[in-house]
Amino acid sequence: MEHDGPGHFFGPTVLDRLPLAADAATTEIFGPVAAVQRFADQADALAWANGTGFGLAGHVVTGNLDRALDVADRLATGLVGINQGVPSNAAAPFGGVTASGLGREGSAEGLDEYQSIRFCNVARRATD
């Protein structure tokens, strides 16, 4: 993919079969880059994914919905996409866990981050 204008450009890229310890496999890349990994079984995949120290988004690609939901429940991430590339929309809370962030932005849950909710109960005297 060519880029003729000023500035920097990095085209869509798939990194396949990286060593599990590679920087591109263990850090968050904010760009059109997908690091594809293969694992012997689901337990190995979850242990690796949850052990990176990051947790913004996870992706599950499978034709088995029960398995997808099981993996999604076990991923330590703020967002999970099942059979899709972008697991968020404007109505959904956006944010990660661990080194990927604290709290949520967007949606009603995002507004809670900027509020301190307090309950106040007042007994009023009866008036004649």
Would you state the pLDDT for residue 65? Answer: 93
Residue 17 counted as domain residue: no
The count of structural domains within the chain is 1
- pTM for the model stands at 0.62
Would you state the pLDDT for residue 64? Answer: 95
First to last CA, the chain: 81
Residue 34 counted as domain residue: no
Residue 56 counted as domain residue: yes
Residue 64 counted as domain residue: yes
Confidence bin at 126 (pLDDT 50/70/90): confident
Residue 53 counted as domain residue: yes
Closest CA to 91 of 112, 109, 72, 73: 109
pLDDT digits (tens, 9 = 90+) for 21-32: 888 888 878 788
Long-range contacts of 120-124, Cβ-Cβ distance < 8 Å, separation of 24 or more: none
Residue 57 counted as domain residue: yes
pLDDT digits (tens, 9 = 90+) for 31-83: 888 888 888 999 998 998 888 877 777 888 899 999 999 999 998 888 888 99
Distance separating alpha carbons of residues 127 and 52, to the nearest angstrom: 64
Distance separating alpha carbons of residues 128 and 126, to the nearest angstrom: 7
Residue 27 counted as domain residue: no
